[in-house]
A and B are shown apart, each in its own frame.
Chain A
Amino acid sequence: MRAAARFAILFAVYVSLTSPAYAYIDPGTGSVITTTILGFLGAVAYTARKYFYRIGDFFSGRKSAGSNRRDS
């Protein structure tokens, strides 16, 4: 429980302390927050997949060409 609370505080600090992003199109604040939430979940899956392929490539002796593969 304490760990969850610590994570929530860190998440809030993380979201609020970084610099603004500018573009000629308005990315939409709600949309950026959406990508933050989906990005956290996606990053875990992306990183896990990346290492999964690296381990697979290590044992199969292949070069890690597929470490950024989308399919899984």
Chain B
Amino acid sequence: MSDGTAAWAADGGSFRDRANRVYRLGPEIVRGLDAKALANWNAVRAQPFFQKLMAEGRIVSTSNRPTDARAMPGDECWAGYIQHERIPFLSYPYEWSFGMLKDAAMLHLDILEEAILAGWTLKDASAYNVQFIGARAVFIDIPSFTPHTAGDPWIGYRQFCMMFLYPLMLSSYRCIDYRPLLRSSLEGIDPDTANQILTGATRFRKGVLGHVYLHAKMQARHKNKDLDEARHLTEDVDQRPSERRAGRHSEAMVMGVLQGLGRTTAKLSSPDDRTTWGNYETDHSYAEASFAAKTSFVQQVVDEKRRGLAWDIGCNTGTFSQIAASNTDYVVAIDGDVKAIERLYQRQKAAGAANILPLVMDIANVSPAQGWRGAERKALDERGKPDLILCLALIHHIVISANIPLAEFLEWLHSLGGEVVIESVGRRDDMTRMLLRNRVDQYAELDNANFERLVGEKFEVVRTQPLKGGTRRLYHLRPR
């Protein structure tokens, strides 16, 4: 780009804290800081606790960026700039498995504890301040570090409860899927809502009486007081709102709450942990020879060349994501099955793998752009276009279970711009027949000849191979 200023793109999700803003500058992630935030950055980066957390990869790698006068973004003028390591693919709490949300919560508490002991604090507790690089949780909001004033309470407590603790409690104590709730309410789950759900005997589960019941009651009490005060303000013109006073919170009080929350969070377990896995990943309908042929086909496509980003949609426990990861910089592994994604995450975490990001998502209803101006949280396909898409043993679920026309699904795949490995599942296939047991058969489009005609309109077929006695077929496609 010839004009330096034109390249600055303010991140749509970075506007709440006026002390800083994130910009994308080509491949760079740059953050502008005001004078106070800059002074905080210069002080905190000299702190041993901060250096240790960054060296461990728990805080996003960040460095000073020299101010470039040509590159000043629009009308905004910042006192200084820092540059962050780029997160390969953004993800949000409503796409995380239980283990991912819990690890993000523990990371937040661990960082805050170390900060408090060193005389620092975090000024918020948003779950969006954590991202994943593969299976590693990373804290990304550097300007959140501010000096801790002795006696101040923990400001982020309510936000932590709403974005981390309550979703985990709902899942652990009541087997309620928190993802739809977090997706529709970006601020998290309100104490009052959590209190209405965590009732009965659940009230006496660890952490509920204090962090949910008491919290909701206190919030309701002060909300009513605020309403009364607001009513008086409108009547008496000269009256001013009363000043809020927070009790003096000693370091022991703050640490006591933090460590109590840490113990509560650590004890929460996913309802899926309590079921047996069995042979979850071998739960497919292939004979060994067919499965080996499928694996070999995918491996050959992956080995053709090094690619930047691959999506494995309908990844199950990630068998093919791992093949893709052998010659791809980063793989996003997506499935609507919570158990499968949790399994993949725990395995990746145990292996210390950094290039497979597991996400829970229904392909028939992928994450949309949402929040302020529909730009605060990005839609799935706005976060990076894949060079390769694996779409294996999925098409019958899309066409039959989700009733999405095959032509539209292929059109969506084509719009992503990458090469595709897709498995066609014909009408004679056992799984197709099983899915059709209780339905009117309106799916003539699954016929092999029709599939090839529709594919040919959008893609060039590079290679193809029959599977399972010809009831299925693998295709390697390039977009036209």
Which residues does A use to contact B, with CB under 8 Å? Answer: 14-21, 23-25, 27-47, 68, 70-72
Contacts and interface: CB of A to CB of B under 8 A. Distances in A.
B210 interface: yes
B119 interface: no
Nearest to A37: B214
A36 B244 contact: no
Contacts of B191: 30-31
B246 A39 contact: no
A28 B219 contact: yes
Contact of B260 (A20, A23, A28, A45): A45
Interface of B is mostly: helix
A36 B249 contact: yes
A26 B233 CA distance: 20
A27 B155 contact: yes
A43 B252 CA distance: 5
A58 B78 CA distance: 51
Contact of B155 (A14, A25, A29): A25
Given A15-B245, A31-B191, 4 more contacts: A23-B123, A32-B157, A37-B210, A46-B252
B222 interface: yes
A9 B220 CA distance: 24
Given A34-B218, A68-B117, A21 B256 contact: no
A33 B113 contact: no
Given A39-B253, A47-B252, A30 B215 contact: yes
B263 interface: yes
A19 B245 contact: yes
Contact of A28 (B158, B243, B250, B257): B158
B285 interface: no
A24 B16 contact: yes
Interface of A is mostly: helix
24 contacts: A19-B245, A20-B244, A20-B246, A23-B123, A24-B18, A25-B16, A27-B155, A28-B158, A29-B226, A30-B219, A31-B215, A31-B218, A31-B219, A33-B218, A33-B222, A34-B157, A34-B211, A35-B154, A36-B153, A41-B256, A42-B252, A42-B256, A45-B256, A70-B263
A72 B214 CA distance: 24
B157 A40 contact: no
Contacts of A29: 222, 226, 244
A42 B253 contact: yes
B428 to A, nearest CB: 58
Given A16-B245, A39-B253, A46-B259, A30 B157 contact: no
Contacts of A14: 247-248
B15 to A, nearest CB: 11
Contacts of B245: 15-20
Given A19-B151, A25-B124, A29-B222, A43 B253 contact: yes
B254 interface: yes
Nearest to B262: A70
B215 A46 contact: no
Nearest to B217: A30
Contacts of B254: 35, 39
A13 to B, nearest CB: 10
A18 B243 contact: no
B49 to A, nearest CB: 12
B256 A18 contact: no
A17 to B, nearest CB: 8
Given A21-B246, A25-B124, A46-B259, A35 B222 contact: no
A25 B151 CA distance: 18
Interface in B212-250: 214-215, 217-223, 226, 243-250
Contacts of B220: 30
B255 interface: yes
